[in-house]
Amino acid sequence: MALTPAVAAVARVAYFASDTIVDSASAFSPYWASRPTSSIGASSVTSLPAGADAGATLLHTVDARLTSYTTDASQALSRLLPHLPELSSRPIVIHVAADKDLSDAIVLRAAVPFFIHSPSAQKAHDNALLASRLARTESKVVLHVFHLGSPDESVEEVAEDQVKPFLLAEKPAVPSSPVSPVTDTSGVLIKAYETASHATATLLRRPQHALSKRGDPAPETIIFTLGRSHITLDVPGAAFVDLSLASPFPISDVLASIGPSTSRIFVCEQIQRWSMKWTPVFLDVVSALQRRETEVRPTVTSVYLGDTSHLTEADFSQLLSRPPSTRLQLGITPSSGPTGARTPHVPKHEASYSKILTHLFGDRLQIVNAPELVSTQGALATSPEFALGRIRGDIRQREALVTTVERLLQTAKLPQDLHSLFSGWLLAKDDGVKSRQLGDKIVAALESGAVSHEAASHVLALRTHLSAPSRWIIGSDAWSYDIGASGLHHAITSGLNINVLLLDTTPYSARNAAAERRKQDVGLYAMNHGDVYVASVAIYSSYGQVLQALVEADRYNGPSVVLAYLPYATEDTPALTLLKETKNAVDTGYWPLYRWDPTKEAHGLEPFALDSDAVKRELQTFLDRQNHLSQLTRTTPQLAAEVVSSFGETVKAARKSRAQKAYADLLTGIDAPPVTILYASDGGAAEKKAKRLAGRAQARGLSTTLSTMDAFGLDTVSREEHVIFITSTAGQGEPPQNGRSFFKALSVTIAKGEKPLTSLKYSVFGMGDSHYWPRAEDAHFYNKPSKDLDARLAQLGGERFADLGLGDDQDADGAETGYKVWEPKVWKAFGVDAVEVQEAEPEPITNEHIKAASAYLRGTIAEGLEDHTTGALAVSDTQLTKFHGIYQQDDRDIRDERTAQGVEPAYSFMIRVRLPGGVCTPRQWLAVDQIADEHGAGHFKITTRQTFQFHGVIKRHLKPAIREINRALMDTLAACGDVNRNVLVSAIPSLSKLHEQVYAFAKATSEHLLPRTSAYHEIWLDKKLVAGEVLRDREPLYGEFYLPRKFKVAVAVPPTNDVDVFANDVGFIAIMDDQGELAGFNVTAGGGMGVTHGNKKTYPRTGSILGFVTPDKGVIVAEKIMLVQRDNGNRVDRKNARLKYTIDRMGLDVFKAEVEKLLGFEFEPARGFQFDRNVDDYGWQTGADGKHYFTTFVENGRVQDEPSREFKTAFREIAKVHKGNFRLTANQHIIITEVANEDLPEIKRLLAKYKLDNINFTGLRLSSSACVAFPTCGLAMAESERYLPMLIDKVEKIMEENGLRNDSIVMRMTGCPNGCARPYLAEVAFVGKAPGTYLMLLGGGYYGQRLNKIYRESVTEPEILAILRPMIKRYALERHDGERFGDFVIRVGYIAPTTEGKAWYDRMGGEGQHRLAATA
- From residue 1 to residue 20, what is the string marking binding to ligand SF4 with x (rule CB under 6 A)? --------------------
DSSP of 1226-1243: TTS-EEEEEE-GGGHHHH
Q: Which amino acid is at 916?
A: P
Least separation in angstroms between residue 664's CB and ligand SF4 is 41
At residue 10, φ and ψ (nearest 5 deg) are -70, -45
Residue 920 falls in the annotated catalytic set: no
Chain length of the chain: 1416
Pick between residue 1107 and residue 1313 the one whose CB is nearest to ligand SF4.
1313
Q: Which amino acid is at 1350?
A: I
Question: What is the helix (H) or strand (E) element at residue 715, kind and residue range?
Answer: helix 709-717
Pick between residue 593 and residue 1327 the one whose CB is nearest to ligand SF4.
1327
Question: For 695, what's the count of Cα atoms within 13 Å in the CB-facing half-sphere?
Answer: 16
Site for ligand SF4 contains 947 (CB under 6 A): no
Residue 600 falls in the annotated catalytic set: no
Least separation in angstroms between residue 1331's CB and ligand SF4 is 12
Pick between residue 1054 and residue 1311 the one whose CB is nearest to ligand SF4.
1311
Pick between residue 367 and residue 1089 the one whose CB is nearest to ligand SF4.
1089
Residue 981 falls in the annotated catalytic set: yes
Residue 719 falls in the annotated catalytic set: no
Nearest to 1288 by CA among 1329, 1331, 1326, 1236: 1326
Per CB under 6 A, the segment of 149-157, 299-307, 862-870, 1309-1317 that binds ligand SF4 is: 1309-1317
Least separation in angstroms between residue 1310's CB and ligand SF4 is 4
Least separation in angstroms between residue 1325's CB and ligand SF4 is 11
Site for ligand SF4 contains 1312 (CB under 6 A): yes
Check if the beta carbon of residue 267 is closer than 8 Å to that of residue 240. Answer: no
Least separation in angstroms between residue 1315's CB and ligand SF4 is 6
Least separation in angstroms between residue 1148's CB and ligand SF4 is 27
Q: Which residues make Cβ contacts (< 8 Å) with residue 325, sequence separation at least 6?
A: 301, 574
Site for ligand SF4 contains 537 (CB under 6 A): no
Question: For 412, what's the count of Cα atoms within 13 Å in the CB-facing half-sphere?
Answer: 0
Least separation in angstroms between residue 887's CB and ligand SF4 is 10
Give the C-alpha distances (Å, rounded to integers) separating 875 from 164, 637, 795, 904, 1296: 52, 17, 37, 14, 49
Pick between residue 451 and residue 1287 the one whose CB is nearest to ligand SF4.
1287
Site for ligand SF4 contains 1314 (CB under 6 A): yes
Given the residues 429, 436, 955, 1046, the one annotated as active site: 1046
Pick between residue 10 and residue 1269 the one whose CB is nearest to ligand SF4.
1269
Least separation in angstroms between residue 305's CB and ligand SF4 is 49
Give the Cα separation of 999 and 238 in Å (integer): 49
Nearest to 95 by CA among 208, 6, 159: 6
- From residue 177 to residue 196, what is the string marking binding to ligand SF4 with x (rule CB under 6 A)? --------------------
Residue 268 falls in the annotated catalytic set: no
Pick between residue 188 and residue 1312 the one whose CB is nearest to ligand SF4.
1312
Instruction: Considering only residues 1261 through 1280, tell me which ones interact with ligand SF4, judged by CB under 6 A.
Output: 1267-1269, 1273, 1275-1276, 1280
Question: For 609, what's the count of Cα atoms within 13 Å in the CB-facing half-sphere?
Answer: 17
Give the Cα separation of 1123 and 1037 in Å (integer): 7
Residue 976 falls in the annotated catalytic set: no
Least separation in angstroms between residue 1330's CB and ligand SF4 is 13
Site for ligand SF4 contains 1306 (CB under 6 A): no
Nearest to 1050 by CA among 1003, 1002, 988, 987: 1002
Per CB under 6 A, the segment of 434-442, 920-928, 1201-1209, 1313-1321 that binds ligand SF4 is: 1313-1321
Give the Cα separation of 567 and 712 in Å (integer): 30
Residue 1403 falls in the annotated catalytic set: no
Given the residues 1312, 1318, 1352, 1380, the one annotated as active site: 1312
Give the C-alpha distances (Å, rounded to integers) separating 1328 from 81, 647, 775, 1087, 1313: 54, 36, 17, 21, 7
DSSP of 1200-1264: -EETTEEHHHHHHHHHHH--SEEEE-TTS-EEEEEE-GGGHHHHHHHHHHTTTT-----HHHHT-
Given the residues 436, 912, 963, 1346, the one annotated as active site: 912
Least separation in angstroms between residue 344's CB and ligand SF4 is 56
Q: How far apart are the first and last CA of the chain?
A: 97
Given the residues 1198, 1267, 1308, 1346, the one annotated as active site: 1267
Least separation in angstroms between residue 1045's CB and ligand SF4 is 14
Check if the beta carbon of residue 1258 is closer than 8 Å to that of residue 1233. Answer: no
Given the residues 658, 787, 1048, 1318, the one annotated as active site: 1048
Residue 1004: exposure state from Cβ atoms within 10 A (0-12, 13-18, ≥19): middle
User: What is the total count of residues that contact ligand SF4 (CB under 6 A)?
Assistant: 13
Give the Cα separation of 280 and 246 in Å (integer): 9
Question: What is the helix (H) or strand (E) element at residue 392, kind and residue range?
Answer: helix 384-409
Given the residues 658, 792, 1316, 1352, the one annotated as active site: 1316
Instruction: Considering only residues 1279 through 1298, tell me which ones interact with ligand SF4, judged by CB under 6 A.
Output: 1280
Per CB under 6 A, the segment of 506-514, 584-592, 1190-1198, 1304-1312 that binds ligand SF4 is: 1304-1312
Question: What is the helix (H) or strand (E) element at residue 45, kind and residue range?
Answer: strand 44-48
Least separation in angstroms between residue 1267's CB and ligand SF4 is 3
Sort strands 328-330 and 92-98 into parallel, antiparallel or unpaired: unpaired
Instruction: Considering only residues 1315 through 1354, tell me which ones interact with ligand SF4, judged by CB under 6 A.
Output: 1315-1316
Sort strands 142-147 and 114-118 into parallel, antiparallel or unpaired: parallel
Pick between residue 78 and residue 1310 the one whose CB is nearest to ligand SF4.
1310
- From residue 1225 to residue 1264, what is the string marking binding to ligand SF4 with x (rule CB under 6 A)? ----------------------------------------
Pick between residue 14 and residue 1312 the one whose CB is nearest to ligand SF4.
1312
E strands present in 361-425? 365-367
Nearest to 723 by CA among 693, 755, 750: 693
Out of 113, 589, 637, 1311, the residue judged to bind ligand SF4 by CB under 6 A? 1311
Per CB under 6 A, the segment of 636-644, 690-698, 815-823, 1306-1314 that binds ligand SF4 is: 1306-1314
Give the Cα separation of 1252 and 1281 in Å (integer): 20
Pick between residue 42 and residue 886 the one whose CB is nearest to ligand SF4.
886
3-state secondary structure 1320-1351: HHCCEEEEEEECCEEEEEECCCCCCCCCCEEE
Nearest to 473 by CA among 461, 486, 460: 486
DSSP of 120-184: SHHHHHHHHHHHHHHHHHHT--EEEEEE---TT---PPPPHHHHHHHHHSPPPPPTT--S-S---
Give the C-alpha distances (Å, rounded to integers) separating 789 from 680, 742, 784, 786, 1105: 11, 10, 8, 5, 52
Pick between residue 502 and residue 1316 the one whose CB is nearest to ligand SF4.
1316
Instruction: Considering only residues 402 through 431, tell me which ones interact with ligand SF4, judged by CB under 6 A.
Output: none
DSSP of 1073-1099: -TTSSEEEEEEEE--B----TT-TT--
Pick between residue 41 and residue 1094 the one whose CB is nearest to ligand SF4.
1094
Given the residues 981, 1101, 1131, 1138, the one annotated as active site: 981
Given the residues 1273, 1308, 1329, 1349, the one annotated as active site: 1273
Least separation in angstroms between residue 1264's CB and ligand SF4 is 14
Pick between residue 884 and residue 1093 the one whose CB is nearest to ligand SF4.
1093
Q: Give the interface with ligand SF4 as residue ranges (CB under 6 A).
A: 1267-1269, 1273, 1275-1276, 1280, 1310-1312, 1314-1316
Task: Point out the residues that are catalytic.
Answer: 912, 981, 1046, 1048, 1267, 1273, 1312, 1316
